[in-house]
Structure 1
Amino acid sequence: MLKAVTWCAKCLFIYFLVAIAAIRFSWIFATPIWQLATKMHWTHLNRLAYLLSYFLPIFAATGFLLGLIPFGKFGKALSDLFRSLLPSAAKQLPPEPDAVPPILWAWVPVTLAFLIRFTTWQSRNSSVFDTQRSVGRVERFFGPLYGQASGLLDDKWITDRFIFTGPMLFLIACALAVLLRHRVTVTNKSQVDPGTSESI
């Protein structure tokens, strides 16, 4: 039970880090793409309008690219280096269990939070007789800035984008990239192992 609780806490911590990165550091990911789009004359939007319009696909692509980087192997290499430098201290460290990485399931809590927010959201232009039928729900959470009608933009629009939709897409794309990377490395290992055993 304790392992499940710590594992869920890791997933929520990853989501927390991604939400902070979405709010504070999204310009780092979007600014080079905006500069390239401006030089190539693909857009005439200023930087803020471009960020608000194309933040979601840029952030999802960033999550996919980060998922392709084998951070676990870097951590294993650092722990091996630590063991070789300080063998007495390394013996006291317990071995890490071979569990499913939390990054593969970190999208679950933010997706649940997003679905709750997505289904409970009501437009300012929704009908009094049918409050559950809010027109433009998908455009509000996924559409670009120029596709937002006046009833869709309110004081919580940026919060919905940067805390719910952006981190959800980032973590789903990152988990897909990690899963793809694991499948490719397992396939490569299974193809290499029979050849080495035959040569021996």
Structure 2
Amino acid sequence: MFRVVTWCAKCLFLYVLVAILASKLAWIFVLPAWATATKLHWTTQTRFVFLLNYFLPIFAASGFILGLIPFGRLSKAVLELAPGAAPFVEPDSVPAILWAWVPVTFAFLVRFFTWQSRNSSVLGGNNTAGRLARFFGNFNAQTPILLDSKWAQDRFLFTGPMLFLMACALAVHIRRSITGSFNRPDRSLTDDSAE
């Protein structure tokens, strides 16, 4: 039971960490792309408009690239430096990074399906195109009906972290499939199972 609670806490911690990165430190991921695009004359947009337009794909790509890095191998280094830390570095049978996208996806789906436009009527049905544009569209696709005070919150706390964690989990799964860490008979701390 304690392992399940610890595993769920790891998943929620990863979500909170990614949400903080998305809302406070988005420039770390977007600024290099904006600088490159400006230098090569691919865009004339200001940094803020570029951030609003391309944050989601850049953040998802960053999650994929981060997922390719084998952070689980750090457990071996931790055990060599502090052998008494073995109970805290013990690998999970299913790494938390592979399932950390589940809580944020659930939160996103609740927000996605409960969202209503300010100008929606009782008789008007669900506006799926408006929902998709609001949560996944770029800044130019936003109309005054879709753009409200909660737009940035939806973008940076729900959609961005969900895409980041899904891309990261996909990259971890691909990396582990290629390196064969799923098929190893000995699940020691030297493989990537401690991610």
Taking structure 2 as the reference length, the TM-score comes to 0.87
Are 1:162 and 2:156 matched, yes or no? yes
Are 1:48 and 2:48 matched, yes or no? yes
Gaps of 5+ in 1: 84-89, 191-200
| Identity %, equivalent residues | 60
Structure 2 Cα separation of the partners of residues 116 and 82 of structure 1: 43
Q: Could you tell me which residue of structure 2 aligns to residue 14 of structure 1? A: 14
Q: Could you tell me which residue of structure 1 aligns to residue 79 of structure 2? A: 79
Q: Of residues 121, 134, 142 in structure 1, which corresponds to 2:115?
A: 121
Residue range with higher mean Cα deviation, 74-83 or 20-29: 74-83
Gaps of 5+ in 2: 185-195
Aligned-pair RMSD on alpha carbons? 2.0
In the TM superposition, what is the alpha-carbon distance from 1:126 to its structure 2 partner? 1.8
Q: Which amino acid aligns with 1:100?
A: V
Larger RCO (CA under 8 A, 6+ residues apart): 2
| Greater C-alpha Rg | 1
Residue range with higher mean Cα deviation, 96-105 or 44-53: 96-105
CA contact (8 A) 1:34 1:47 kept: yes
In the TM superposition, what is the alpha-carbon distance from 1:135 to its structure 2 partner? 4.9
Structure 1 Cα separation of the partners of residues 77 and 174 of structure 2: 22
Structure 1 Cα separation of the partners of residues 81 and 7 of structure 2: 26
Alignment length (residue pairs)? 183
Structure 1 Cα separation of the partners of residues 107 and 26 of structure 2: 21
In the TM superposition, what is the alpha-carbon distance from 1:98 to its structure 2 partner? 4.3
Runs of 4+ in 1 over 4 A off after TM superposition: none
Q: Could you tell me which residue of structure 2 aligns to residue 143 of structure 1? A: 137
CA contact (8 A) 2:79 2:86 kept: no
In the TM superposition, what is the alpha-carbon distance from 1:2 to its structure 2 partner? 2.3
In the TM superposition, what is the alpha-carbon distance from 1:99 to its structure 2 partner? 1.7
In the TM superposition, what is the alpha-carbon distance from 1:100 to its structure 2 partner? 1.0
